[in-house]
Amino acid sequence: KIVGLWEKCAVNENDDKENFQRSFVRHVTTTLARSVYNIDNFSAYQATAHTVRDQLIKRWNDTQQSHTEADPKRVYYLSLEFLLGRSLDNALLNLGLKENFGEGVKDLGFRMEDILDEEVDAALGNGGLGRLAACYMDSLASLDYPAWGYGLRYTYGIFQQRLKDGYQVEFPDYWLNFDNPWELPRLDVVVDIQFGGSVNKYTDEDGRVRHVWEGNDVIKAVAYDVPIPGYGTKNCINIRLWSSKPKRQFDLGRFNEGQYEQAVQEQMQAENITAVLYPNDNHMVGKELRLKQQYFWVAASLHDIVRRFKKSEKPWSKFPDQVAIQLNDTHPTLAIVELQRILVDLEGLDWDEAWNIVTRTFAFTNHTILPEAMEKWPVPMVAYLLPRHMQIIFDVNLFFLQNVEKLFPDDRDILAKLSIIEEATPQFVRMAHLAIVGSHQVNGVAELHSNLIKTTIFKDFVKFYGSEKFTNVTNGITPRRWLHQANPKLGDLITEVIGSKDWLKDLSSLSKLEKFADDKEFKKQWVTVKRSNKVRLAEYIKTHTGVVVNPNALFDIQVKRIHEYKRQFMNILSVIHRYNSLKKMSSEERCEVVKRVVIFGGKAAPGYYIAKLVIKLINSVAEVVNKDESIEDTLKVVFIPDYNVSVAEIIIPASDISQHISTAGTEASGTSNMKFVLNGGLILGTVDGANIEIHEEIGDDNIFMFGNLADQVEDLRHAHRYRNVPIDPALQEVINDIESGHFGDSRIFSPLINTLTIGKDYYLISDDFGSYLSAQNLVDEAYKNQDDWTRKSILCTARMGKFSSDRAIIEYANRIWNAKPCSA
Ligand code: 26V
């Protein structure tokens, strides 16, 4: 009877206008307990969201039920970050409900745009790595893979950035302040996680030595599920986020003794674990709480994965045929050790049998080669928090090094280089080494990056394992969010001209646009769309910074985390150079120049002093330039505060040029470069990361590349260190200008200037400055020919098929996971 009722209710999907409206009103009056006479935009958002949520839950249930029945090989994506952004618009589009619901709310006196704007971002990530995880979940769902993500439900996501006197100030991101309709609390799915304590040995009835870890601190992990709907499929996958809760509410003993603060201390410490996302991007800080987060998350997730496997009653040897676990960077590396512990200590498998299962299960993605980002944990800290894991790591290392020694009997050096343990005082566990040894495949995220890891940081592993263990999967982005949702007008235009929506599921069909690159009528429409996106951004800039910008100017955008290797500093230095050139011109000469709006956005890690000074310099330059009437509106400089996923959705469709100008060899891939080009923006970039593959796809005529190559970097740095390399003269002029106090008290900026002079210019700004300025001039020249620019813009979009995250996920599934789609 129940099943019958359920099926009836599943059929009654509220996908027409009236059904939607009934559900909307029901949620206002019951879920929100509000009066129908008093519905503001936020309540309208909540009621709409809850209506969508009802549908998501149905799909989620059907999908999970069908996966349970089919029992296919499952894919688990372990990521400490999922930078999802907003969900309502995405769910409406993926479920195909946008039109009906849009009409529905309009009819009730609301505007869909206003409703969508009420949602706060789920910002559980720093930048590229976290957003990549979100794009991959969208593709996994859309391609019907039986996959789950596992992460942490941080109470506070990435901080909110505000500007005060041109400086970044951070505010907490309490995103759960109001209810979160996009999560399903599973208060019954609870895992006990232990820390500390000691390891006891005993001999079992077969005469084998067994280990028992008895922790002295137990914390509960509670599951919250986030449904991820696919596009054009009924499948809906899951991200399970863990939240930490105390094992007991308070210490009754202490409470009864009148020690009230101590009585709740334990509870507070437990809740600390998932309180906050670490706001560092590409920089390792060895905080104990971060290590606790990692183990807490990994242990809860593996418990869940193992429990699900055991339900099928298959033998352990089948585990790698049923389970693929992808490690998003080294953050979840302890999962390798945890699975070995489960198999050996709890399930009683032999060490070798267990290790064979472990290494066939895991694969590892590396996302950076910056030395300061490599995770390593002090052995004493690991030993204290996770005594049994530390023993297992030492054993894994011992057996691994024995094999290394067999292959290289006379090479002491290679043992030290490959060891999972760094021999320092104290010793450290090198997480990347552990991840490589415990995985069957290691991949980089763009061709250049994957080659670099084989020749630099992991080159000794290639000697030992051979190069087949190392592979490339070039990153991708989801066209659903980054074109369909962020740029609906362009999406509609594309659909109209190529006559179908196929591109949403097969991005390579964008190539059908090529033949319209010279079509006059089409070009006009293309320009109209770009222009309206620029107007939308100009309005946003006016509201959020007070600066008025001209939508006819060239919009030149650099938005990404602020980091020295990404060289926002070089960009603002070139802006100063441009400003000085404009000031030297006669007003007739100025009439000829291409007007530019240079737009920056991005957060600096709160402890990253130099990056924060870059933000200050940008704002100081903006202040001088924007109020200088003598240059008319040939140049404006804007720093958009609090760059995040939803702000990106407004910025990216509005670019003429975007800048991706990292020192060659430092940006593993970059993914915003793909988003900009997909939206018909051109790139000004270095020969780095995925820029190289974008260049290959779109051709020489449609991209502006400059600068030294990755294989020159080492020599250039060497020269800076040991020889007196003169600073580029144009750069020197700019430095002098800053030092003259033109942009405020120059003493503020001396630590920044010092990175170029006494800091030996580690990121080679001086070396690239000349070719950067030349490339900038080529951009100006090209922009003067608007007709040709439009052609370039169309060809850019047309040739971006490769960079869909669908392509990337299919590569992972076929080459790494050996997983097949399974539709409900
Ligand atoms: C590392 C650490 C170190 C410990 C503290 C917190 C923390 C947080 C994140 C990271 C990961 C840094 C690596 C990273 O984000 N890489 C970026 O990955 C993108 C997706 O593959 C890629 O497009 C970017 O080029 C790359 O910088």
Residues composing the chain: 824
Are residues 254 and 323 both part of a single domain? yes
Does a structural domain hold residue 822?
no
- Catalytically annotated residue among 59, 86, 331, 561: 561
According to DSSP, the β-strands at 217-229 and 198-203 are: unpaired
pLDDT band at 103 (very low <50, low <70, confident <90, very high): very high
Nearest CA to ligand 1 atom 1: 282
Ligand 1 atom with the smallest distance to the CA of 668 is 25
Q: Which of 158, 367, 563 to probe ligand 1 with, by most ligand atoms within 8 A of CB?
A: 367
Are residues 495 and 454 both part of a single domain? no
Rounded to the nearest integer, the mean pLDDT of the chain is 96
Give yes or no for a contact between 448 and 695, defined as CB atoms under 8 angstroms apart: no
Q: What is the pLDDT of residue 2?
A: 84
Does a structural domain hold residue 823?
no
Assess whether 433 carries a catalytic annotation: no
Cα 374 to ligand 1 centroid, rounded to whole Å: 10
Q: What is the pLDDT of residue 260?
A: 83
Is 70 exceeded by the pLDDT of residue 357? yes
Q: Total domain count for the chain?
A: 3
- Does residue 129 have its Cβ closer than 6 Å to ligand 1? yes
- Does residue 671 have its Cβ closer than 6 Å to ligand 1? yes
Cα 479 to ligand 1 centroid, rounded to whole Å: 22
Instruction: In whole angstroms, give the CA distance from residue 112 to residue 106.
Output: 7
Instruction: In whole angstroms, give the CA distance from residue 591 to residue 594.
Output: 8
Instruction: In whole angstroms, give the CA distance from residue 11 to residue 7.
Output: 6
Is 70 exceeded by the pLDDT of residue 678? yes
Cα 297 to ligand 1 centroid, rounded to whole Å: 18
- Residues 541-555 have a mean pLDDT of 98
What pLDDT digit, counting tens, does each position of 713-768 carry? 999 999 999 999 999 999 999 999 999 999 999 999 999 999 999 878 999 999 99
pLDDT band at 796 (very low <50, low <70, confident <90, very high): very high
Q: State the residue range of the domain holding 508.
A: 479-803
What pLDDT digit, counting tens, does each position of 500-516 carry? 999 999 999 999 999 99
- Catalytically annotated residue among 50, 53, 675, 799: 675
Give yes or no for a contact between 324 and 819, defined as CB atoms under 8 angstroms apart: yes
Assess whether 561 carries a catalytic annotation: yes
Does a structural domain hold residue 727?
yes
Are residues 505 and 428 both part of a single domain? no
- Catalytically annotated residue among 361, 671, 686, 755: 671
pLDDT band at 14 (very low <50, low <70, confident <90, very high): low
CA dihedral 385, 387, 388, 391 (to 10 degrees): 130
Give yes or no for a contact between 481 and 135, defined as CB atoms under 8 angstroms apart: yes
- Six-digit token string for 496: 């109209």
Nearest CA to ligand 1 atom 20: 129
Are residues 435 and 461 both part of a single domain? yes
Q: What is the pLDDT of residue 776?
A: 98
Work out whether the CA dihedral 767, 768, 771, 772 comes out positive or negative.
negative
Does a structural domain hold residue 168?
yes
Does a structural domain hold residue 514?
yes
CA of residue 747 relative to chain centroid, distance? 36
Is 70 exceeded by the pLDDT of residue 551? yes
Does a structural domain hold residue 701?
yes
- Catalytically annotated residue among 388, 469, 534, 560: 560
Q: What is the pLDDT of residue 9?
A: 65
Ligand 1 atom with the smallest distance to the CA of 689 is 25
- Does residue 337 have its Cβ closer than 6 Å to ligand 1? no
- Does residue 556 have its Cβ closer than 6 Å to ligand 1? no
- Residues 261-273 have a mean pLDDT of 87
Q: Which position has the token pair 């996009």?
A: 182
Does a structural domain hold residue 693?
yes
Cα 368 to ligand 1 centroid, rounded to whole Å: 6
| DSSP alpha helix (H) spans, 605-661 | 609-626, 645-651
Q: What is the pLDDT of residue 13?
A: 59
pTM surpassing 0.95? yes
Are residues 769 and 790 both part of a single domain? yes
Are residues 487 and 570 both part of a single domain? yes
- Does residue 329 have its Cβ closer than 6 Å to ligand 1? yes
Q: What is the pLDDT of residue 761?
A: 97
Are residues 425 and 493 both part of a single domain? no
Are residues 265 and 391 both part of a single domain? yes
**3-state DSSP call for residue 524?**
helix
Q: What is the pLDDT of residue 10?
A: 56
Are residues 614 and 505 both part of a single domain? yes
Are residues 447 and 465 both part of a single domain? yes
Is 60 exceeded by the pLDDT of residue 11? no
Q: What is the pLDDT of residue 264?
A: 84
Cα 167 to ligand 1 centroid, rounded to whole Å: 24
Are residues 99 and 132 both part of a single domain? no
Could you write out the DSSP letters of every residue in 79-119? Answer: -S-EEEE--HHHHHHHHT-HHHHHHHHHHTT--HHHHHTTP
| Packed helices 41-70 and 98-107: angle between N→C axes, nearest 10 degrees | 150
Does a structural domain hold residue 728?
yes
- Residues 58-68 have a mean pLDDT of 96
Q: What is the pLDDT of residue 282?
A: 81
Are residues 624 and 535 both part of a single domain? yes
CATH code where residue 239 lies: 3.40.50.2000
According to DSSP, the β-strands at 198-203 and 209-214 are: antiparallel
Assess whether 755 carries a catalytic annotation: no
Is 90 exceeded by the pLDDT of residue 824? no
